[in-house]
Structure 1
Amino acid sequence: MTTSSSSGIGTARPRRRIVAWLLPGRRGRRLALALGSTILLIAIAGLPVFVFPPPGDPGDASLVYVIGPPQQERLDLARTLRDADRPVPLLISVSDSGTGHGEARFDAAALDVCRRRGVTCETPDPFTTAGESRLLDRYDATHESGKTVVVTFTPHVARTRYIFAKCSAADVTVVGVDTDLTLFDWVFQYAYQSAAFVKAWLTPCP
């Protein structure tokens, strides 16, 4: 009896150790599967918002408005929109003099386009998308613009439409320029734009 009992206990202990070793692996796999599924759902849900927003209609615009930072891709698209039918006025949101975005400078003094005829470069207050909507209203008060094409980059299109609809009385359509983004950049944009959407929803217009 004593020998049989000892043998049973000795056999059970390795089995318990094996089961205990396997269970964390199973839990880890389940956790990884749940995390992967959540990330995939977020990525899919964000496609029509950040990656493939509905295109705006830039036709019949009386003003083209490049919001900041006025990177070259946005300025190139604005030039194309202006040359498509007629040289409509161009409004550009620029940063304060001497400040930039990363290593590049986007103040009026650094942009040759700001010295061309038909181009107005101004700094919004505050220097945010909501501040840029306010700048457009100020511009419209003296220039009586009609339809305005707002140029930004693709991940920012949906939030720009929401903020301008909320904070501006102008007739606005928003178009986005495609920019080469890495996978890390897209992850950052998903997180940043989502948080900024919540902030825009909670924050009153300036």
Structure 2
Amino acid sequence: MPKKAMRRRRLWSTVLGVMVCVLVMVVVAAGLGYQLFQREHQDDLRKADAIVVLGGEHDGREDYGLRLAREGYADTVLISDPYRPYAPPYTSSDKRIMDRVCNAGTPAVEVICFAPNPSTTQGEAMFTQRMAEERGWKSVIVISWRYHLVRARYIFGQCFDGQVIMRSVPRDYSRPISQWAYQYAYQFGGLAKAVVIGCDT
């Protein structure tokens, strides 16, 4: 076989090998992403010392946390408020929602809104740990998106000394494949970051 043809054949073999490797990696990442972020990983509900509503979007999470408290699962609700000062993309609607839920306390249910520092899941977990140390809490219910639960559980495991009961916001999680691909990449990246930086409390 002529040398030029051999070089061309080796080139195509290399290209094909790379394409197969990329395809395998995509399939593995998609399968792992589905298992970690799309399937349900919430825990059974049980009573805890507090309910922690993580920030993200106003998709009913705040009211879900308040409802669980009214049903007797905890008598304190921590609601993350990383949205202030409500500059774009946040709106006056965000402010109205937070004003309402932050003033939803009753004699039976205490509501504490807080601005996490840093304004991330890590900051929320660190604040929860400080509150737990002050009040002697041993367990919390943490509310977030279904696709965020694995990462949030890992971060709270780093930053919070007590038991964590993870609950996903009850909402519709159907979405186009492109949006799931973005979420897989975002959550993988966030999980890798959490592994690297740990929890500086």
* TM-score normalized by the length of structure 2: 0.77
Aligned twin of 1:132: 124
Greater shift, 150-159 or 103-112, is seen at 103-112
The residue type equivalent to 2:124 in the other structure is E
Determine if contact 1:70/1:106 at 8 Å carries over to the other structure: no
Bigger relative contact order (CA 8 A; separation at least 6): 2
78, 85, 104: which one pairs with 1:91?
78
C-alpha deviation, 1:34, in angstroms = 4.7
The secondary structure found in structure 1 opposite 2:34 is helix
160, 165, 168: which one pairs with 1:176?
168
Superposed counterparts of 1:101-140, under 5 Å: 102-104=89-91, 110-111=97-98, 112-117=100-105, 118-140=110-132
Determine if contact 2:122/2:155 at 8 Å carries over to the other structure: yes
Superposed counterparts of 1:151-162, under 5 Å: 151-162=143-154
Determine if contact 1:91/1:119 at 8 Å carries over to the other structure: yes
Question: Based on CA coordinates, which of the two structures has the bigger radius of gyration?
Answer: 1
Determine if contact 2:46/2:73 at 8 Å carries over to the other structure: no
Query: Structure 1: 5+ residue runs without aligned partners?
Result: 1-20
Bigger share in helix: 1
Cα separation, partners in 2 of 1:137 and 1:163, compared to 1, 3 Å: same
* TM-score normalized by the length of structure 1: 0.75
Aligned residues: 192
Query: Structure 2: 5+ residue runs without aligned partners?
Result: 1-7
Aligned twin of 2:5: none
Aligned twin of 1:141: 133
